[in-house]
Amino acid sequence: MRSALIHSCFLFVTLLSYGQSPVLKSIIYDFDGLDIGQTDLPDGDYKNFDLTYQVAANPLNSSDVLGDRVLKLDLNWIIGKGTFGKGISRYIELNVSADHLNFYCYNPLSNNASATVDIDIQEDDNTDNNYNNASDDQWTSTINIPRSPDWQLISVPLNLFADVNAGGNGIFDIGYTLNAGKIFAVSLTFKKASSTVNPESYFIDMLCFSEGILPIGTTALELPPKNNSDHCLLGCLAYKNPADSVPVEVEGLFPAGSTKLRYVNIFVPYAHSGTNPSAYPGTSVQTLLNNGYTPIITWEMIFSSFAPLDSVQPRLAQIIAGNFDSYFDTFADNVKLYNDTILIRLFHEFDGDWYPWSIALNNQDPNQLISAFRYIVDHFRARGATKVKWIWSPNSLPNPSLAYNWAVNAYPGDSYVDIVATSIYNHPFPGSPPWRSFRSLLSETYYYLTKYFPDKPFFICEVACRERYNAEAVSSQTKADWICQMNKDLQSYFSKTRALVFFSKIKEHDWRINSSLAAQEAVRTCIWEDSHYSDEPLTIAFPAKPDPFKVYPNPFTNEINIVFESMPGLKNEGFLIVYDIMGKKVGDYRFNEKITFGNGFPPGIYILDLTSKGYSKKVKLVKQ
């Protein structure tokens, strides 16, 4: 067991090595949308000892980073310490060599002294959803937060956390990969200073993980800037079947000549009635193309007249077995008739458990999803239906949060996917997590999809927010507020988003963008008339010869994976040599499809040289 380390908060600002840019990774709490005085926080909060808490108005000026609601921590100092924490019990892919735990803290000058805080991360090594001293790790870093008239950004590298529990495996290995464990809880324990006599209050906000220090603007309370080339095109759900030639239900809400929609999302099942696949895209798709729109066909492997999880619904194995080939042939032949390219979103939200194509309902095997996705794409290409770009679209958060259900493991490959995407709903179903900020809903999936698939455009193919219930207390965030904050986050933390498609429809809730005059006005002023959403052409070209060579993660900590995907006309056997920075050969391998190595390499920079028949490539590797 190692003792915890103590650091000054002024030392927390560290830079990532090798030119990496910091990025938001996962939000634990941001308190947006909660009510002043609220003490029952969503999703597993807890307190111990001398501490009580409540949601409070920001005691200083509100900002785009913190908003106008924060958490007030009151310490009565009877025992001498107080803890605030959140139970998490799910997988988050954390990298101890690169990631930081961050939060903002306001320690007012009216307090007596600097705050001494133990930050604890409990790791559920054996994934039994309990913390056990005998089998799980607890990682601690002790920090000092001086009194200040302003908010302070506290950013602690995970490699400064020490294991303070003799149980567990002694390795910080929270994540989906390498048989790692779940993150069980994160907590802050404030300790009484020897000179303190009276009770004290602290304020915290934006408790989160990031790769590197949390990205900021010119000050710690300003959002990070976007690149000048960043833009995001708009779309909406098609209201009718067949789809309207112009989605007037949305465009008609706004002034003529303002930003026009680019994408129209059309849901097509396998069958509207019965179990005979018979639903196909029609001439309305061509009409949309003629009017300048790009149709997105969300193709659902479902028989609409039955409940989604009814036993009659298809499963992925049936696709792979060829049971629907004649249906796919006709569908592909219909697509061939269009004079321009359409987008097909296949097996969307597959990491949920509410559709018959979900990984959870198909032997919990992501390889079935991969095989079925590839099977359909290959079938279309063999049929000559090549005017299609394929969208791979997990949900914003996996359900269940289990190791097999990590979306990244179900990626069909760059040669099969043209666009990566997700869905965002603020409180979709009764019993699901309550009101949450757009930022907290999107952060993890955005990180994974832009991190692991950086060459693919990132879309939000469904986005919607409900109105507040009549029985809810006055809140810091209305639907209109949520929409305008979404705009700010899309132009900062999530500026690589290239499409935002509104699910504007009454379904579980009134998801329409005009569900209230305030919501409609928010869309107009914060999004519709903002040049960030201009009708700028977006080119997604099919690679003439897709690169079959994948290296991840890079930089790496322990091991690195090399994958050489099978491609037509390309031998799938390669020779791989690794050199250190001085040109000395340190590894010589031969492989067919995948190899993992690097465990014995010291930290440093290496050059990987791959040669195969008709293919060669050199890549710089970084071991941290």
Ranges of the chain with pLDDT below 70:
1-20, 239-246, 428-433, 535-549, 564-574, 581-583, 591-593, 611-617
CA 58, 530, 469 angle in degrees (round to 5)?
Answer: 50
Shared domain check, 237 and 205: no
Return all residues near 379 (Cβ < 8 A) that are at least 6 apart: 325, 328, 329, 332
Among candidate residues 180, 211, 242, the one where a domain is terminated: 211
Query: Identity (one letter) of the amino acid at 388?
Result: V
Query: Which CATH number is 491's domain given?
Result: 3.20.20.80
Integer Cα distance of 438 and 32 in angstroms = 9
Shared domain check, 199 and 246: no
**Local structure of residue 526 (DSSP, 8 states):** I
Nearest in space to 236 (alpha carbons), one of 266, 280, 259, 281: 266
Shared domain check, 614 and 515: no
Place of tokens 């759900």: 237
Find out whether 549 and 557 touch, Cβ atoms under 8 Å.
no
Give the model's pLDDT for residue 432: 56
Question: What burial class does residue 186 get, using C-beta atoms within 10 Å of its C-beta: 0-12 exposed, 13-18 middle, 19+ buried?
Answer: buried
Q: How many domains does the chain have?
A: 3
Query: Identity (one letter) of the amino acid at 305?
Result: S
Helix axes 438-452, 479-490, angle to 10 degrees: 30
Nearest in space to 7 (alpha carbons), one of 150, 106, 154: 154
Shared domain check, 460 and 598: no
Integer Cα distance of 531 and 510 in angstroms = 27
How is residue 79 written in tokens? 């025992």
Write out pLDDT tens, residues 546-577.
Answer: 556 677 787 777 888 777 665 443 344 567 78
Shared domain check, 563 and 523: no
Integer Cα distance of 124 and 173 in angstroms = 10
Shared domain check, 243 and 166: no
Nearest in space to 232 (alpha carbons), one of 40, 497, 2: 497
Query: Identity (one letter) of the amino acid at 34?
Result: L
Find out whether 612 and 577 touch, Cβ atoms under 8 Å.
no
**Local structure of residue 436 (DSSP, 8 states):** -
Find out whether 543 and 568 touch, Cβ atoms under 8 Å.
no
Helix axes 366-383, 325-336, angle to 10 degrees: 50
Phi, psi of 250 (to 5 degrees): -105, -55
223 domain residue, yes or no: no
How crowded is the C-beta side of 60, counted as CA atoms within 13 Å?
20
Shared domain check, 560 and 431: no
Domain span at residue 272 reads 233-533
Q: What is the 3-state secondary structure (H, E, C) of 144-208?
A: EECCCCCCEEEEEEHHHCEECCCCCCCCCCECCCCCCEEEEEEEEEEECCCCCCCCEEEEEEEEE
Give the model's pLDDT for residue 612: 61
Write out pLDDT tens, residues 221-269.
Answer: 999 999 989 999 999 998 665 555 668 888 889 987 777 899 999 999 9
Shared domain check, 383 and 245: yes
327 domain residue, yes or no: yes
283 domain residue, yes or no: yes
Shared domain check, 201 and 237: no
pTM, two decimals, is 0.83
290 domain residue, yes or no: yes
Shared domain check, 46 and 116: yes
616 domain residue, yes or no: yes
Find out whether 91 and 401 touch, Cβ atoms under 8 Å.
yes
Return all residues near 47 (Cβ < 8 A) that are at least 6 apart: 53, 82, 83, 84, 85
Nearest in space to 552 (alpha carbons), one of 509, 594, 494, 614: 594
219 domain residue, yes or no: no
Give the model's pLDDT for residue 7: 35
Query: Which CATH number is 615's domain given?
Result: 2.60.40.10
Shared domain check, 126 and 273: no
Shared domain check, 149 and 105: yes
How is residue 261 written in tokens? 């929609």
For strand 81-90 and strand 182-191, is the pairing parallel, antiparallel, or unpaired?
Answer: antiparallel
How is residue 508 written in tokens? 């579980």
228 domain residue, yes or no: no
307 domain residue, yes or no: yes
Query: Which CATH number is 179's domain given?
Result: 2.60.120.430
Place of tokens 């991360």: 121
Q: What contacts 24+ positions apart, CB below 8 Å, involve 528-531?
A: 528/234, 528/254, 528/258, 528/259, 529/254, 529/258, 529/259, 530/259, 530/487
